[in-house]
Amino acid sequence: MLIADDMEDWREGEDPLAPLPFDRRRNERWPLEGSGRAVLLDSEHFGQHRELDLLDYSPGGIGAICSLPIHPGTIVSIDLAAPLHAVERGTVVRCYPCGNGYRVAIRFELRLAA
């Protein structure tokens, strides 16, 4: 996985706004204010966290601003600072520079009934 300093190498020759092939928006999005935390679960950065400023929400994922990039494809655990909101697990599908940070899109994992 690439992060922070490696981001320029990863982006070289690629469209910075291109989503991963499995990014499919099927749900309506709603504005969401607040904060959260993404804990990285990849082997290279396991346990590192990134603070998130939330932008929008849908049943399938969230959009947020993060001060450091998170490589698309990274699996994260999301903890939103909202009462009665469960911790979610998801995959970063997009990350590109935006103002003083990075705009990230995280797709939640599907939950299967037992």
Residue 36 lies in a domain: yes
Tokens, residue 3: 């992060």
CA distance readout (Å), 40 to 26, 70, 112: 25, 9, 22
Residue 53 lies in a domain: yes
The pLDDT tens digits for 4-61 are 444 444 444 455 445 545 445 556 777 888 899 999 999 888 999 999 999 998 888 9
* In the predicted structure, residue 3 carries a pLDDT above the cut 50: no
Q: Which of 21-25, 70-74, 87-91, 102-106 has the lowest mean pLDDT?
A: 21-25
CATH number for 110: 2.40.10.220
pLDDT of residue 83: 61
Residue 2 lies in a domain: no
The parent domain of residue 104 ranges over: 32-114
Domain count, the chain: 1
Residue 112 lies in a domain: yes
Report the C-alpha gap between 67 and 84 in whole angstroms: 26
Average pLDDT over residues 68-75: 95
